[in-house]
């Protein structure tokens, strides 16, 4: 693993997040934006048709994963035929080494980055910087967090946790070549300033790194889907273009990409289509006046082939739209950084243990109420709660479940499996609790239940159990 996680400290992270007033403001201001926009886009298309496309997208990706070796070979052949190079990276470290080699051969001092989560997963920025190459994030959100020395807190809105005054402060600190007394009040002035600063950087870099939303097996094209246009400038202007993509990004044909595109933006931002959807193949041709002279694809595995054939395979259908994150009440409460690694929210809670190990990432699949909202909006119909439960099963099998919880479960199971004992035990407990609490109707504190009573009362039981009253002949 190359990117240090703070996932084992998830609980502490969430406590800090809840106390972080700026973060809470940012989360509150955005919580209904994405949700409302997705719902409107779905309505606009027609619910039945949208749901049909979700089925088709799921089936398409299932087909691709079931035949992934054949499609990968086809893709590789097509990239080669168009003059590009495919580099296979088994691990994040392999990907780092490959990217550095390409940058060194290009004699790169500066590398422009389009937004890529695979690069985050591989820790490319820190690695390049350690090796004397300057990575410049060009997605506006990524740029803001790079200035802040942070990682993205959301896969499609990386700076969603940053408030406008914080952006203003960062720009004043970073853009020292500009007039110190300039007016930065309006959002438009902030955008214009970033646009100006980054525009120059596009022309400085020798290498541009982007991700890929899809890789087309039939044609060997990589697809990026963006709204800003930074990804296109990052891949068109430098002499060398590196695509970093994980190997499950394959789709068979151009027509198939249409199916994914039809659910992607609608699920992500509620747009019918993102502004720029770009299909790229190989380096610039003899007659092309622009475009990169070299085109490299780094195909990352990093644990994904280990997921194939397991109960976690469905996760590889994920197209990184962020809908599960946008709809997750836990994410909406604590934000993305609390998750402690690259991928937050429900998709992160399933993927993180797969990629960094359940020992390290096991907190995440536990931090869910299984409310199911993520699965209900996932365009690829990934059963996220079910897979989180599978992680809990793995933890239970590996004895990683906390001992208090394990012991409690065991004791409870012993009783629950013996109805007569259960009757006696629950009745005794409830009668006692009822006697204590019936007058007020609730408890402000209870032994062993401080987690509950820290923030809320515990309603008292009414008195005798239902089963005992029923048996005694009570009827409504």
Site for other proteins in 388-447 (CB under 8 A): 389, 391-397, 401, 405, 409, 412-413, 415-417, 419, 422, 426, 429-430, 438-442, 444
| Interaction residues for other proteins, span 148-177 (CB under 8 A) | 157-160, 163-164, 167
- CA 295-299-300 angle, to 5 degrees, is 140
**Residue from 40, 46, 77, 107 in contact with other proteins (CB under 8 A):** 46
**Tokens of residue 370, six digits:** 């299984």
Residue with tokens 């869910």: 368
Cβ closer to other proteins: 1 or 39? 39
Taking phi over 0 as left and psi of -120 to 50 as alpha, with beta for the rest, 291 belongs to: left
170 contacts 157 by C-beta, under 8 angstroms: no
Asked whether position 9 contacts other proteins by CB under 8 A, the answer is no
Q: Which stretch binds other proteins (CB under 8 A): 99-107, 122-130, 135-143, 317-325?
A: 135-143
Cβ closer to other proteins: 132 or 462? 462
150 contacts 337 by C-beta, under 8 angstroms: yes
116 contacts 209 by C-beta, under 8 angstroms: yes
How far from each other are the two terminal CA atoms of the chain, in whole angstroms?
61
Q: Pattern 215-234, binding to other proteins, x per CB under 8 A?
A: ---x--x-----xxxx-xx-
Shortest distance (Å) from residue 240 CB to other proteins: 15
**Tokens of residue 65, six digits:** 């994963």
Asked whether position 312 contacts other proteins by CB under 8 A, the answer is no
3-state secondary structure 91-132: CHHHHHHHHHHHHHHCCCCEEEECCCHHHHHHCHHHHHHHCC
**Residue from 3, 57, 155, 212 in contact with other proteins (CB under 8 A):** 57
Cβ closer to other proteins: 132 or 383? 383
**Residue from 187, 424, 435, 436 in contact with other proteins (CB under 8 A):** 187
Q: Pattern 239-268, binding to other proteins, x per CB under 8 A?
A: --------x----xxxxx-xx-xx------
**Residue from 5, 41, 113, 141 in contact with other proteins (CB under 8 A):** 141
Shortest distance (Å) from residue 104 CB to other proteins: 19
What is the phi/psi pair of residue 134, to 5°? Answer: -95, 115
Q: Pattern 331-350, binding to other proteins, x per CB under 8 A?
A: --xx----------------
Burial classification of residue 155, based on how many CB atoms lie within 10 Å of its CB (0-12 exposed, 13-18 middle, 19 or more buried)? buried
| Residues whose CB falls within 8 Å of the CB of residue 173, separated by 6 or more in sequence, listed in order | 147
Shortest distance (Å) from residue 465 CB to other proteins: 5
Asked whether position 357 contacts other proteins by CB under 8 A, the answer is no
């Amino acid at each position: 693993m190359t990117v240090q996680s703070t996932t084992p400290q998830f609980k502490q992270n969430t406590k800090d997040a809840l106390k972080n007033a700026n973060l809470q403001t940012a989360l509150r201001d955005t919580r209904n934006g994405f949700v409302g926009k997705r719902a409107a886009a779905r309505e606009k298309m027609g619910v039945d048709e949208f749901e049909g496309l979700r089925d088709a997208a799921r089936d398409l990706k299932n087909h691709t994963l079931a035949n992934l070796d054949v499609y990968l070979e086809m893709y590789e052949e097509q990239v080669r035929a168009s003059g590009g190079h495919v580099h296979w990276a088994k691990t994040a470290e392999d990907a780092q080494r490959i990217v550095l080699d390409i940058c060194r051969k290009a004699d790169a001092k500066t590398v422009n980055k389009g937004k890529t989560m695979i690069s985050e997963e591989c820790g490319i920025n820190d690695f390049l910087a350690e090796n004397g190459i300057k990575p410049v994030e060009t997605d506006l959100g990524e740029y803001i967090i790079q200035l802040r020395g942070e990682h993205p807190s959301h896969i499609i809105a990386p700076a969603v946790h940053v408030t406008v005054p914080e952006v203003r402060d960062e720009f004043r600190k970073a853009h020292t070549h500009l007039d110190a007394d300039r007016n930065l009040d309006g959002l438009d002035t902030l955008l214009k300033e970033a646009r100006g600063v980054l525009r120059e950087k596009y022309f400085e870099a020798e290498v541009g790194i982007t991700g890929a939303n899809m890789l087309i097996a039939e044609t060997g094209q990589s697809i990026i889907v963006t709204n800003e246009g930074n990804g296109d400038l990052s891949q068109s202007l430098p002499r060398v273009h590196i695509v970093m993509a994980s190997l499950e990004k394959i789709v068979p044909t151009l027509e198939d990409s249409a199916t994914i595109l039809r659910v992607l933006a609608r699920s992500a931002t509620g747009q019918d289509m993102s502004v720029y959807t770009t299909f790229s193949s190989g380096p610039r041709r003899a007659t092309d006046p622009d475009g990169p002279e070299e085109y490299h694809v780094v195909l990352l595995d990093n644990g994904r082939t280990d997921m194939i054939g397991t109960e976690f395979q469905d996760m590889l259908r994920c197209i990184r739209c962020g809908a599960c994150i946008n709809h997750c009440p836990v994410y909406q409460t604590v934000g993305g950084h609390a998750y402690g690694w690259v991928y937050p929210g429900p998709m992160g809670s399933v993927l993180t243990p797969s990629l960094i190990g359940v020992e390290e990432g096991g907190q995440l699949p536990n931090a869910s109420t299984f409310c199911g909202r993520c699965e209900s909006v996932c365009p690829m119909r990934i059963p996220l709660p079910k897979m989180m439960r599978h992680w809990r099963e793995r933890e239970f099998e590996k004895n990683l479940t906390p001992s208090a919880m394990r012991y409690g479960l065991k004791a409870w199971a012993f009783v629950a499996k013996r109805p007569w004992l259960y009757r006696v035990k629950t009745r005794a407990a409830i009668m006692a609790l009822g006697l204590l609490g019936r007058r007020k109707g609730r408890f402000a504190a209870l032994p062993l239940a401080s987690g509950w009573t820290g923030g809320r009362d515990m309603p008292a039981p009414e008195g005798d159990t239902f089963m005992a009253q029923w048996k005694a002949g009570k009827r409504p």
